[in-house]
Chains A and B, each alone.
Chain A
């Protein structure tokens, strides 16, 4: 159905098995991003004074951590893409 390039093409491969290794990594990284974001949300819910504290004038923990959540989420996708694309190329 969807054309696969040679490095990812496994003849007569079971559909789900084909993605089995990215899956392990996917689960692990999902847990990481869940933990990071849930930690952030829990801080918003129960750590209001801390998040409102300014580290330097203008930069509160809330704004810093909020921006970091976005950046780290993006970096995690970079890790995932790099590792799983390398694996599928080596296979």
Chain B
């Protein structure tokens, strides 16, 4: 990485005038050599730590087998690291800065999925003895069709997650290097930034195969939590360490009653940043978003396997408790950071740099601690984005090579070397597609993008996962139909929703009115799963389910008496 960055840095530092035009317009002070130097310094530092950490554990397959050695605390941090992406940090801070309370819908929604994962899924997962989403769904069903459908759902979730990370990273690079880039690519700094990010990501994934290890995630969680906490303390210090004073100031600056149209003055609706506002103006939108965020967590393919890295169920439960605490704390910080950016940076300034408010957090860092702080926070965000992208790309690539390629193209078997080759091509494929989609979604808030990934996970993966664990009469056809219908309907409704149909494809009016599809597609996926299962009884599936339940004499377990 050092060798990659230093020539780049030299170019940028040489070409960069002291203040980038965008930053100047925004009035957030200089984004000059100091910020860039700090950015590069911390990127190199965190990549160095990551590299060191990655060498401490070996491969992912290693920790499957080992199944121990990781304490509950460490695993809690790793779970949190897997889950908290910098994109949601940038995106939520931006959404709160933009419309106050509405952004907090994401903070709460991303968190409440965790108790559900612990209460319903994690326990049974360990008991069944399967690691991955596809393994659990397929454990009592016919492997091939289930794996193909599961791989498709995984790839769809990964792609939407990737778009969010790409846009976030691209915006960061544009913010820092916009001026120097505009010298080479006038008028296309974002495009240039996204392509640079895509290249760096592919290099990172292809040459650093050991990314998704526990220690890397622990460090990532530490960096994000540390950076966000530092910022929150600095914000609160300006308000006598009283969050209510901060909220009052934000409300004072931005709340106003409705303005009626008068002559040339257009009507303006009332604004109350402390209550529900425009993002959830349609009640069904609020319900749909809430449902997707809550259920999506349990359908995320890369979270579930973490429950195996600790030695026993008691430790697994504890680690989920720690993770929920860390993630909850992080999302409470987004309250402070979002309102802090609103009050201290100002909406006009934020929107001048990025229409979708994705740069609210780094700009707030600039206001709080000048260029060094901006460089530091941007580096933390960028480094964590790289780690998330690597993990996502690897799980997407393995779904493509192990499940799709082997089962669809090769009829069930393929040599290891060939799978590895396919995984490499798949990585490049993900990189290119992510860059292309990142360009399309330039003006999208990244927390909203992550929310769409959750909606797909909730529709495609969660119903099949839940029913496979709990419903005796679940069948292969039911699972396959549910996963395909869930994934395709969610993607289809996203395409014809306002976010894509209007904002990206520039049509006048959206065909589907809701910005999140979950309210329709999650129940649809459940109904399809149940109806198809009832229509196609499968004795083998029932037998294996009963087998899992029946072997133990009930006397051993006085059920429910103490609960």
Interface residues of A (CB under 8 A from B): 1-5, 7-8, 10, 12-30, 33-34, 36-38, 40-42, 44-46, 48-49, 51-54, 56-63, 66-67, 69-71, 73-74, 76-78, 80-81, 83-85, 87-89, 91
Contact = CB atoms under 8 A, between A and B. Distances in A.
B312 to A, nearest CB: 4
A8 B552 contact: no
A66 B246 contact: no
Given A33-B115, A88-B314, A40 B108 contact: yes
A3 B119 contact: no
Nearest to A86: B562
Given A56-B244, A67-B335, A44 B286 contact: yes
B283 A74 contact: no
Contacts of A12: 551-552
B563 A83 contact: yes
A65 to B, nearest CB: 9
B48 interface: no
A80 B119 contact: yes
Contact of A45 (B111, B120, B284, B311): B284
B272 A20 contact: no
A4 B127 CA distance: 10
Given A22-B123, A40-B108, A40-B290, 14 more contacts: A16-B469, A17-B550, A17-B552, A19-B313, A30-B120, A33-B112, A33-B116, A44-B280, A62-B101, A63-B101, A70-B107, A77-B118, A85-B314, A85-B317
Given A14-B551, A25-B563, A26-B119, A42 B245 contact: no
A34 B287 CA distance: 13
B283 A1 contact: no
B244 A58 contact: yes
Contacts of A14: 547-552
Interface of B: 67-68, 101, 104-105, 107-109, 111-112, 114-116, 118-120, 123-124, 126-129, 243-248, 251, 272, 274-276, 280, 283-284, 286-287, 290-291, 294, 308, 311-314, 317-318, 320-321, 324-325, 328, 331-332, 335, 469, 545, 547-552, 556-557, 559-560, 562-563
B247 A20 contact: no
A84 B317 contact: yes
Contacts of B243: 58
B293 to A, nearest CB: 9
8 contacts: A3-B67, A26-B118, A37-B109, A66-B105, A69-B112, A73-B115, A77-B118, A80-B118
Contact of B275 (A3, A24, A51): A51
Given A4-B313, A69-B108, A81-B317, A21 B559 contact: yes
Contacts of B286: 41, 44-45
